[in-house]
């Protein structure tokens, strides 16, 4: 009997091991094949490539240019498909019709932001969006006063460029400081010289690597705290200079009423300011850089822009109201935004609730990536999607025409809130610079248009010559 018991134990152990291995194999099979063909009572989930346990589809992505892989996958799996970024499931929206339908017609279902980890850490969970936007408008955003500030900054920039006396220069830092000064004037109530020490915290090399991102955040935090300390010491509640003063005045009022646990505390102020600069500086400055690069790369197009500016405006300062009389220039600016494609993937959204979209079931909480590059280069919407072709925005008579598939600012309830300011800055900066200078490449430089990948797509490092036009 004792011998039989031992044999049974061995048999039980063998059976247990077999069952465990079998279950593991079934689990592996499910990860590799099963969840790619998942059905739900409300419909089939979006299709997608087979993925691996833990790694998901990461090994299939070109991590230097992931949006290109996403574009290629859309050609195989359609305008709505699923991928796994590690264990995280993501639904990708591709093509104008699908992106527009999701963000506009299904705005409630897909309108919420999905907080990326790195941005969660950076923001520390604080949100002052409504306060910031309201006060930015109070201090000029979208108004004539803001246009005057942009024009003033253009002339400061022109003065700095003239100091190069025709020598080749890299426009990256200059444009960054110039565009940053527009935000400075509304947030702090003043602009700064480009060589002012306050800008030292911003004169750094930007990168998408997490370690560098946090290091740069620390540097930006330090110099911002210095500015805030000075503004607090010189605060006059009866004469607010900018958003910071409005914030500090509101906090004083609340504290005077005995309220000490409001959202108006130092961390919220700091992160609100840093978010405003992050959102309102890099994207616009980078787009202007692309605009000047395209003009140097395509001199015949630059000729036509400058001819139109001379004929319509002459030597006076260009203003936003001139846009309607400058169809070719306006078309070139729009085409710059389209081809530059600086944000190929919109900030991630999340499904607000269970939804059946285009016949596919998407579960509540699923991350959704609107692929803006697929809209800006949609072959069914653009005649020459992969070329710099300003005629995309002109009719046969040469009049400017809007294009539905022009969505560089995304669409729907989560479209860029600073779109109006950005469009004003792009128009005034580009037209004013082209009124004063002709931009040309260095001898022998064909000006590589391959973007440099980071948090946004920026031009590869380059230098341009200028020839004075006035």
Tens-place pLDDT, residues 19-28 = 455 445 444 4
Q: What is the pLDDT of residue 18?
A: 47
Q: What is the pLDDT of residue 459?
A: 94
Q: From CA 324, how far away is CA 400, in angstroms rounded?
A: 8
Exposed, middle or buried, 326 (CB in 10 Å: 0-12/13-18/19+)? buried
DSSP output for 149-207: HHHHHHHHHHHHHHTTTT--B--HHHHHHHHHHHHHHHHTS----TT-GGGGGG-S---
Cβ(222)–Cβ(189) under 8 Å? no
Q: What is the pLDDT of residue 155?
A: 95
Q: Is 154 annotated as a binding residue?
A: no
Cβ(354)–Cβ(366) under 8 Å? no
For 29-64, how does the pLDDT look when each residue is reduced to its tens digit (9 = 90+)?
444 444 444 555 556 899 999 999 889 999 999 988
- 33-47, 80-94, 268-282: range with lowest mean pLDDT: 33-47
Structure tokens belonging to residue 136:
């930015």
Give the chain's mean pLDDT.
Answer: 83
For 8-19, how does the pLDDT look when each residue is reduced to its tens digit (9 = 90+)?
554 445 555 544
Of the candidates 303, 228, 216, 240, the one whose C-alpha atom is nearest the C-alpha of residue 267 is 228
Residue 363 is given by DSSP the state -
Cβ(158)–Cβ(433) under 8 Å? yes
Neighbour count for residue 147 (Cβ, 10 Å): 19
The pLDDT confidence band at residue 5, using thresholds 50, 70 and 90, is: low
Cβ(308)–Cβ(326) under 8 Å? yes
Mean pLDDT on 104-109: 90
The pLDDT confidence band at residue 389, using thresholds 50, 70 and 90, is: very high
Cβ(282)–Cβ(176) under 8 Å? yes
Mean pLDDT on 319-334: 97
Of the candidates 262, 266, 261, 263, the one whose C-alpha atom is nearest the C-alpha of residue 244 is 266
Q: From CA 230, how far away is CA 233, in angstroms rounded?
A: 5
Mean pLDDT on 210-220: 49
Q: What is the pLDDT of residue 1?
A: 43
Q: What is the pLDDT of residue 116?
A: 54
More confident: 369 or 137: 369
Distances (CA, A) of 156 to 55, 338, 361, 377, 435: 50, 28, 54, 36, 15
Q: What is the pLDDT of residue 119?
A: 47
Residues pairing with 80 in the sheet: 93
More confident: 180 or 16: 180
- 124-133, 244-253, 289-298: range with lowest mean pLDDT: 124-133
Q: What is the pLDDT of residue 42?
A: 56
- Asked if the model's pLDDT at residue 293 lies above 90, the reply is yes
Could you tell me which CATH class the domain 126-468 is placed in?
mainly alpha
Alpha helices (H) along 257-326: 266-280, 282-297, 299-312
Residues pairing with 90 in the sheet: 83, 367
Q: What is the pLDDT of residue 400?
A: 98
More confident: 111 or 302: 302
């Amino acid at each position: 009997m004792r011998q039989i018991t031992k044999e049974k134990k061995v048999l039980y152990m063998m059976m247990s091991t077999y069952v465990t291995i079998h279950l593991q194999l079934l689990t592996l099979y499910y990860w590799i094949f099963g969840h790619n063909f998942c059905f739900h009572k409300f419909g089939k989930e979006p299709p997608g490539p087979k993925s691996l346990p833990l790694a998901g589809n990461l090994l299939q992505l070109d991590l230097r240019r992931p949006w290109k892989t996403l574009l290629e996958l859309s050609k195989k799996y359609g305008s709505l498909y699923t991928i796994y970024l590690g264990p995280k499931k993501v639904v990708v929206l591709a093509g104008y019709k699908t992106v527009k339908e999701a963000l506009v017609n299904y705005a409630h279902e897909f309108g919420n932001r999905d907080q990326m980890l790195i941005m969660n850490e950076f923001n520390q969970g604080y949100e002052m969006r409504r306060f910031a936007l309201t006060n930015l408008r109070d201090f000029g955003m979208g108004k004539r006063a803001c246009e005057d500030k942009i024009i003033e900054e253009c002339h400061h920039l022109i003065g700095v460029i003239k100091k190069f006396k025709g020598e080749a220069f890299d426009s990256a830092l200059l444009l960054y400081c110039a565009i940053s000064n527009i935000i400075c004037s509304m947030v702090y109530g003043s602009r700064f010289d480009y060589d002012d020490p306050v800008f030292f915290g911003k004169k750094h090399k930007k990168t998408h690597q997490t370690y560098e991102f946090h290091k740069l955040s620390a540097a930006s935090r330090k110099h911002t705290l210095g500015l805030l300390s000075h503004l607090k010491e010189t605060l006059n509640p009866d004469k607010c200079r900018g958003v910071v003063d409005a914030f500090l005045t509101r906090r004083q009022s609340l504290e005077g009423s005995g309220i000490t646990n409001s959202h108006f505390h130092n961390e919220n102020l700091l992160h609100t300011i840093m978010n405003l600069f992050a959102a309102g500086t890099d994207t616009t400055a980078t787009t202007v850089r692309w605009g000047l690069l395209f003009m140097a790369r395509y001199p015949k197009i630059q000729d036509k822009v400058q001819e139109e500016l001379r004929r319509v405006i002459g030597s006076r300062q260009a203003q936003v109201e001139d846009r309607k009389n400058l169809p070719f220039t306006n078309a070139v600016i729009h085409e710059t935004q389209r081809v530059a494609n600086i944000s190929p993937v919109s900030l991630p959204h999340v499904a607000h609730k269970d939804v059946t979209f285009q016949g596919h079931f998407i579960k509540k909480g699923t991350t959704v990536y609107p692929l803006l590059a697929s809209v800006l280069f949609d072959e069914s919407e653009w005649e020459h999607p992969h070329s710099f072709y300003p005629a995309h925005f002109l009719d046969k008579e040469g009049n400017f025409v809007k294009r539905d598939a022009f969505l560089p600012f995304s669409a729907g309830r989560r479209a860029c809130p600073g779109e109006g300011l950005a469009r004003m800055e792009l128009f005034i900066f580009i037209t004013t610079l082209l009124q004063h200078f002709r931009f040309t490449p260095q001898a022998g430089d064909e000006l590589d248009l391959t973007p440099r990948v980071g948090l946004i797509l920026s031009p590869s490092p380059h230098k341009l010559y200028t020839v004075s036009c006035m």
